[in-house]
Amino acid sequence: MEEMLFYDRMQFAFTITFHYLFPQLTMGLSLMIVYFKWKFLKTQLEQYNDAAKFWMRIFALNFAMGVVTGIPMEFQFGTNWAKFSELTGGIIGQTLAMEGMFSFFLESSFLGLFLFGEKLLGHKLHFLTGFLVFLGSWASGFLIIATHAWMQNPVGYEILANGKFVLNNFGALFTNPWLWPSYLHNQAASLVTSSFVVAGIGAFYVLSKKHTEFGKLFVKTGVIFGLVASILVAIPTGDLLAKNVVKYQPVTFAAMEGIFHTEQGGAEIVLIGQPDVKNKKLDNKIAVPNILSFLTYGDWDTEVKGLNEFPEENYPTNISGLYYAYHIMVGLGTIFIGLLFLAVVQLIRKKLYTTKWILWALLFMIPFPYIANTTGWYTAELGRQPWLVYNLLRTADGASPTVSSGNTLFTLLGFIGLYLLLGLLFLLVAGKIIRKGPEPQTH
């Protein structure tokens, strides 16, 4: 059973990690495309319109990859997690069906019109189609995270005699206190990814002296959007989300912060340390006294509960993985704020485009928001374990009892091979679009 559960979790973790590489760019990029098109309508400068169409080509490629890699995850609910689907389908089926029927079709329908309908529609209606693509992509994220928020903090449900969960308050799904901080945190993080991609590609153009004017526009737009978004990721959305973890999942918070024993009279915040789960301590730690109590409760001396306060069977199943995922996410987020702040300062001083080390840093930082987003999701998912529905349904009770570990491993290997091929094709096509660059309007 343990082996079967391990491969079930590994397969879902791999497929969702690969899949989310694409929506995290498209959600943020859709807002930036709307901005470029709006700037064109306001200024009538063709450069903004050309920029919007260039990034929509990148958007469309990512959207296609997101669709292809998202479909297998839907099937996994029925194959690897059939018991979970049977017991909770009456609730999670609502939001997942709404995501597919409304937001996905809104996004995909108007994407086609934006890509091919500019001459037919005119610029104002073309802007509207871009806005509706943005609306669809953000609505999709909202409904997915509404599902996730219910699993983290179940609300508005009752459990029938046969063990099935049913909704008794539909509105509670969308007023869940876990939902809005998670959603806004996720969308801001998505915007950080798109900002670094836009700024990084712009830096590439400036450094290589190709499409230089577009490069400068992309760098300027990327660093401004990125700085605002990276601050929003930390404050207020990250802060509110951490306070939710303290309130609703205190054992998760203790594991995230590496607090094995309750800290009275003020808890320190650990900057660096390696968890020794067996001996219940942090090795080689560098910490700042009392900061964690202040950040969590607004008081320097408030007690913060450690793992020793909770039953071991409710500990997160991978404390070390959770601890490192959380600290990688926070560490990268701090670096993003610092780099983007310096870039904006240089932009104000009119020296950004000649400050080569910042341009190179923006270019090489492109992969790191993807890492930060991935570790952020790992923090949420590893933190909820050993539960599928927090405190109500354990992960071991949601797996399909009739799917063998061998079958799951076989299909996992198949996914790895297929997604490796898809990833290489994606990089080739994206590279071709980027090398070609934006196409200036000819008259």
State pLDDT tens for residues 55-67.
Answer: 999 999 999 999 8
Q: Is the pLDDT confidence value at 44 over 50?
A: yes
Return the percent helix, strand and coil in the chain, to nearest 5.
Answer: 75, 5, 20
| pLDDT, tens digit, 9 for 90 and up, residues 308-361 | 999 999 999 999 999 999 999 999 999 999 999 999 999 999 999 999 999 999
- Look at residue 443 in the predicted model and tell me its pLDDT: 41
Judged on CB neighbours under 10 Å (0-12, 13-18, 19+), 276 is middle
Helix (H, G, I), strand (E, B) or coil at 438: coil
For Cα atoms 274, 279, 285, give the angle at the middle one, nearest 5 degrees.
Answer: 30
pTM for the model? 0.94
**Helix orientation angle between 123-152 and 82-98, rounded to the nearest 10 degrees:** 150
Among residues 233, 193, 187, the alpha carbon closest in space to that of 365 is found at 193
Q: Following CA atoms 169, 146, 10, 24 in sequence, which dihedral angle do they give, to the nearest 10 degrees?
A: 170
- Across the chain, mean pLDDT equals 92
Q: Which residue has the higher pLDDT, 424 or 282?
A: 424
**Helix orientation angle between 405-436 and 2-19, rounded to the nearest 10 degrees:** 10
- Convert 321-332 to b/e letters by CB count within 10 Å (16 or more is b): bbbbbbbbbbeb
For Cα atoms 366, 438, 136, give the angle at the middle one, nearest 5 degrees.
Answer: 70
- Look at residue 71 in the predicted model and tell me its pLDDT: 84
Q: How far is CA 195 from the centre of its chain?
A: 14
Q: Is the pLDDT confidence value at 1 over 80?
A: no
- Look at residue 4 in the predicted model and tell me its pLDDT: 87
- Convert 402-416 to b/e letters by CB count within 10 Å (16 or more is b): ebeeeebbebbeebe
| pLDDT, tens digit, 9 for 90 and up, residues 64-117 | 999 899 888 888 888 889 999 999 998 998 888 888 777 877 888 888 888 888
- Convert 218-256 to b/e letters by CB count within 10 Å (16 or more is b): bbbbbbbbbbbbbbbbbeebbeebbbbbbeebbbbbbbb
What is the rounded average pLDDT of the residues 44-51? 93
- Residue by residue, DSSP assigns 109-162 as HHHHHHHH-HHHH-HHHHHHHHHHHHHHHHHHHHHHHHHHHHHHS--SEEE-TT
Residue 287 backbone phi and psi in degrees, to 5: -135, 155
- Look at residue 356 in the predicted model and tell me its pLDDT: 95
Q: How many residues would you count in the chain?
A: 443
HEC string of 299-328 equals CCCCCECCHHHCCHHHCCCCHHHHHHHHHH
Residue 284 backbone phi and psi in degrees, to 5: 50, 40
| pLDDT, tens digit, 9 for 90 and up, residues 355-413 | 999 999 999 999 999 999 999 999 999 999 999 999 999 999 999 888 888 988 999 99
